[in-house]
């Protein structure tokens, strides 16, 4: 700068100094900003960067399976495709003035592929959200149509459409145990029945995974699942047996339709373990299509419906009296010839009697007889025994809600009419679960067990997490009293008993019938038209394998008595269940499962039992010298149709078998006629049609 004019040199130096100063100030600002960003606000900026770079996904595990006690799936989860949309990605790069037109175009194409309303799709796209469901559980055709919309082979592919698998609950046996199992809503939450009460175990826990995403927000790399077991919820194995459940539901449904009843329930229990083998309800529903079912059909009547039990309570009143020593088996009770005034009411008996033993009181179901026994025992001991049998307490099943039933208030003394009516099941209410478990206590030598519905819980690897075992709640009565009551209940299904139509050929059945009047809501009084017909019992009486309780609500067509309505249901359910379990009368051959299947298709119990007896007899006889024609009669010779008119079903069937004839039963009640007529000579092994009609 020696050759430069001094003034110009000073100007250049000033400008250079100013420029350097500006650079220094700018650098200082940059350094300060960098320091502020990296040090002071570093955590906040780091969090923002992570949010933009990483994507967090909540992986919902597959819902666990519900099995029956033999491992048959009752409720499973399957993967079905669902379609969602990322509207931000779909509309990225489109200028604002073209947005309405593009949204209209995309909505029309998407609605056409998914069969949706165009306006509904437009509304979801216009919100411009990262995630919105378009349609859940789509068909394969709709899936292919959505993939075609996003194909790059198209001139204007639709971006942002996402197809992902989503769990759907599927019930392979449709209506079977529907009210017990419940259903699952589209969001994967259990909403009723066991699906609701076991939701935590079945649903498992959601797992969060992290990974990198691209500009469009798509996951391109993930860290993986930390716990693979989190991908599947726990599976629950029930004590329910699918085959016994089917038998119970089929027979109950037939009875409800035949008698034009409003509904009913059947429970089958193993008295030795408290395991519930079947819990049937009618009417039922298909959990796969729960949204088209009626709320009443989804109700688990066996657990929720309270009803006045009627005469079935006489068994427990008798047990209380025998345990308290107020009556002995050989006592005779005067039954007032059918009418007994007490307080301001008159108690009536259907069967007019004078002197009856305790066994006869249960056999013909005398209200007056059991009322006198209860009054002799006292209201306090009667109440305490009812509570010990479980009435008035929650059964303790793993279900969303349980009805408890009601007993008359204990804080004040019962007046005599309350004690008398409670003894024969009026003025109190119970549930079918309470009734079947109380009868199971008598079958189990006086020991009341907790009802079991869950056998075990396993994880996704099959490892058992929890397993239930029989639990004794308390001893209700002594084994001696339980045996006495069992013998008395055995008379109910024999001779002149009210439950002869519950008798099972080859077995002794112990049980009790009931025909309980219902309260008319309009008048508040007992109705002469509305009844609850029931039968509860166990078989075989000496060594019980099953306890079955049948309740039919408001039968209207034909008879309304518990013996005629509920008794045959018990006979068919218990008879088929015994054969399925391999329990058979002494001296008979075992029955194959194929025979049980044929019987389940509509064959008559008496006919199948006859075939079993015939096979047993044939096995005991020496083989013939020459082979027989397969179509020839199994037994040779002739016999006469015995005098069986007026007999109950069990006695008539036994007489027919004794005459080496094959009985075919039609109707209910007492035997009114036979085909061929009584006294006719027929070939041994011929069919004898027994036509029964209800008593008038």
Residue 248: CA atoms inside 13 Å, Cβ hemisphere, count?
33
Cα four-point dihedral sign 319, 325, 326, 330? positive
Catalytic residue among 84, 293, 311, 561: 311
Distances (CA, A) of 627 to 614, 624, 633, 684: 18, 7, 13, 19
Strand-pair category, 54-59 with 207-213: antiparallel
The whole-angstrom separation of Cα 509 and Cα 487 is 10
Asked if residue 450 lies in contact with residue 441, where contact means CB atoms within 8 angstroms, the answer is no
Contacts 24+ apart (CB under 8 A), 11-18: none
- Distance from C-alpha of 499 to C-alpha of 510, rounded to nearest angstrom: 9
Distance, CA of 230 to CA of 660 (rounded, Å): 65
DSSP symbol at 258: H
Q: How far apart are CA 307 and CA 532, in angstroms?
A: 8
What CA–CA distance (Å, rounded) separates 510 from 297? Answer: 31
Of 558, 575, 572, give the one whose Cα is nearest residue 669: 558
Residue 564: exposure state from Cβ atoms within 10 A (0-12, 13-18, ≥19): buried
| H or E element in which residue 374 lies | helix 367-377
Task: Please tell me whether the peptide bond between 337 and the residue prior to it is cis, using omega within 30 degrees of 0.
Answer: no
* Dihedral-angle region of residue 593 (phi above 0 means left; psi in -120 to 50 means alpha; beta otherwise): alpha
Strands (E), 444-525: 447-449, 454-458, 464-467, 472-475, 510-519
Sorted by sequence, the CB contacts under 8 Å of residue 335 that are 6+ apart come out as 349, 353, 354, 355, 356, 361, 366, 368, 369, 372
| CA–CA dist 76, 169 (Å, integer) | 6
Q: Is 400 left (phi over 0), alpha (psi -120 to 50) or beta?
A: alpha
The span from the CA of 130 to the CA of 146, in Å, is 18
| Burial class of residue 155, CB neighbours in 10 A (0-12, 13-18, 19+) | exposed
447-449 and 526-539 strand pairing: unpaired
Among 322, 427, 424, 429, which Cα is nearest to 369's? 424
Phi-psi region of 651 (alpha: psi -120 to 50; beta: other; left: phi over 0): alpha
Instruction: Check residue 653 and give left, alpha or beta (phi > 0: left; psi -120 to 50: alpha).
Output: alpha
Chain centre distance of CA 225: 35
The b-or-e profile of 613-636 (16+ CB within 10 A means b, else e) is: bbeeeeeeeeeeeeeeeeeeeebe
Shortest CA distance to 345 belongs to which of 272, 246, 288, 426? 426
End-to-end CA distance of the chain: 139
311 is catalytic: yes
Residue tagged 């969090």 (tokens) = 47
Catalytic residues: 311
């Amino acid at each position: 700068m020696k050759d430069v004019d001094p003034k110009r040199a000073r100007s250049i130096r000033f400008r250079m100094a100013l420029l350097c100063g500006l650079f220094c100030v700018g650098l200082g600002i940059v350094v300060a900003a960098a320091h502020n960003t990296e040090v002071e606000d570093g955590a906040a900026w780091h969090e923002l960067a992570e949010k933009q770079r990483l994507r967090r996904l909540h992986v919902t595990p597959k819902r666990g399976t519900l099995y029956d006690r033999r491992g048959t799936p009752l409720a499973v989860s399957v993967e079905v495709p669902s379609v969602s949309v990322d509207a931000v990605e779909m509309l990225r790069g489109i200028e604002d003035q073209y947005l309405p037109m593009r949204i209209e175009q995309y909505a029309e194409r998407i609605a056409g592929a998914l069969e949706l309303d165009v306006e509904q799709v437009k509304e979801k796209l216009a919100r411009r959200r990262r995630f919105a469901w378009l349609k859940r559980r789509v068909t394969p055709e709709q899936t292919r149509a959505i993939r075609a919309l996003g194909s790059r082979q198209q001139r204007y592919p639709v971006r942002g459409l996402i197809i992902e698998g989503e769990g759907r609950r599927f019930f392979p046996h449709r209506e079977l145990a529907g009210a017990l199992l419940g259903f699952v809503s589209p969001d994967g939450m259990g909403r009723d029945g066991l699906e609701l009460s076991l939701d935590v175990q079945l649903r498992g826990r959601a797992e969060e995974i992290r990974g990198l995403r691209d500009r469009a927000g798509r996951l391109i790399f993930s860290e993986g699942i930390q716990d693979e077991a989190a991908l599947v919820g726990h599976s629950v194995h029930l004590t329910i047996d699918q085959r016994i459940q089917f038998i119970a539901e089929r027979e109950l449904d037939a009875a409800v339709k035949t008698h034009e009843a409003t509904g009913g329930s059947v429970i089958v229990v193993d008295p030795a373990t408290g395991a519930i083998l079947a819990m049937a309800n009618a009417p039922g529903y298909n959990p796969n299509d729960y949204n088209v079912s009626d709320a009443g059909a989804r109700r688990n009547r066996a657990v929720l419906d309270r009803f006045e039990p009627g005469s079935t309570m006489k068994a427990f009143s008798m047990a209380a009296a025998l345990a308290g020593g107020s009556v002995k088996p050989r006592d005779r009770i005067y039954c007032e010839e059918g009418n007994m005034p007490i307080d301001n009411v008159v108690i009536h008996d259907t069967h007019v009697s004078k002197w009856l033993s305790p066994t006869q009181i249960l056999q013909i179901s005398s209200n007056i007889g059991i009322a006198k026994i209860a009054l002799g025992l006292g209201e306090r001991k009667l109440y305490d025994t009812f509570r010990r049998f479980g009435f008035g307490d929650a059964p303790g099943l793993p279900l969303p809600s349980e009805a408890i039933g009601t007993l008359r208030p204990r804080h004040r003394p019962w007046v005599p009419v309350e004690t008398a009516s409670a003894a024969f099941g009026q003025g109190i209410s119970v549930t079918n679960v309470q009734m079947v478990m109380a009868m199971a206590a008598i079958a189990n030598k006086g020991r009341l067990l907790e009802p079991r519905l869950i056998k075990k819980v396993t994880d996704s690897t099959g490892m058992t997490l929890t397993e239930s075992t029989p639990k004794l709640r308390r001893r209700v009565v002594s084994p001696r009293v339980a045996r006495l009551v069992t013998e008395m209940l055995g008379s109910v299904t024999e001779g002149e008993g009210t439950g002869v139509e519950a008798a099972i050929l080859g077995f002794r059945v112990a049980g009790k019938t009931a025909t309980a009047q219902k309260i008319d809501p309009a008048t508040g009084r007992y109705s002469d038209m509305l009844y609850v017909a029931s039968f509860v019992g166990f078989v075989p009486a000496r060594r019980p394998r099953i306890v079955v309780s049948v309740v039919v609500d408001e039968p209207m067509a034909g008879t309304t008595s518990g013996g005629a309505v509920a008794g045959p249901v018990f006979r068919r359910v218990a008879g088929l269940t015994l054969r399925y379990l391999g329990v058979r009368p002494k001296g008979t051959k075992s029955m194959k499962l194929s025979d049980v299947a044929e019987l389940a298709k509509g064959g008559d119990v008496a006919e199948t039992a006859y075939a079993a007896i015939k096979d047993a007899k044939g096995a005991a006889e020496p083989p013939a010298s020459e082979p027989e024609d397969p179509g020839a009669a199994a037994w040779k010779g002739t016999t006469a149709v015995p005098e069986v008119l007026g007999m109950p079903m069990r006695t008539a069937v036994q007489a027919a078998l004794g005459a080496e004839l094959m009985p075919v039963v039609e109707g209910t009640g007492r035997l009114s006629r036979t085909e061929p007529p009584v006294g006719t000579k027929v070939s041994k092994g011929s069919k004898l049609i027994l036509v029964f009609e209800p008593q008038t």
